[in-house]
Amino acid sequence: MVRYAEPGTVEWVESDGGPLIAVPETVLPFWSGADGDDLASDYDRACEIDTAFGLLPVGDRTALVLGDEPAATAYLPEHGTLVRWYAADTEAELLAGARDALTTADWTDERHWNVPGPVVLFDSAWPGTAPARTDTLRITLAAGHYAVRSAVRPGPEIWAGLVHLRRLDEA
């Protein structure tokens, strides 16, 4: 796999060309990726998401698909935000621009996602049980309901996608 994001401050996940997906750990075995005997695989369903994000049923839960384009993606837990690397010379520039954009972004409408706990972000072409899958990111989320919204931080030199996860049922 070719890596576009450089090693640095945060861990980046990349795909081989398809969308990334965040599947709850509890239902990972139910994600078949591009495998399967059906006319439309789970991967095909994920590829139908042509917006910044979408939700797909997996087992008795729902996974978050990062559509739009297969950009390297990292999670900033202190901001509850997935950052998608569309264009920047360095990781430091991208992360600084993304953090600045969190307060000024033009966010999309929210969708709600019920999360049973930690999720695993990976290339949606892989089955959830693939032992050889190495490009993954485990995201520790508390069980609960989350509002999900997205924005793009466009610019001539720094261009980042943002997918913000905000827990709705915090005490």
Virtual torsion, Cα 105, 109, 110, 111, nearest 10 deg: -140
Say how many C-beta atoms besides its own lie within 10 A of residue 105's C-beta: 18
DSSP H stretches of helix in the chain: 42-47, 91-101
Which pLDDT score, from 0 to 100, does residue 130 have?
A: 77
Question: Does residue 163 sit in helix, strand or coil?
Answer: strand
Can you read off the two tokens belonging to residue 151?
């924005």
Write down the pTM of the prediction: 0.90
Which pLDDT score, from 0 to 100, does residue 8 have?
A: 67
CA distance 148 to 165: 5
Which pLDDT score, from 0 to 100, does residue 2 have?
A: 38
What does pLDDT average to in each consecutive run of 10 residues of the chain (171 residues)? 57 91 96 80 93 96 92 95 93 90 90 97 91 81 97 85 91 48
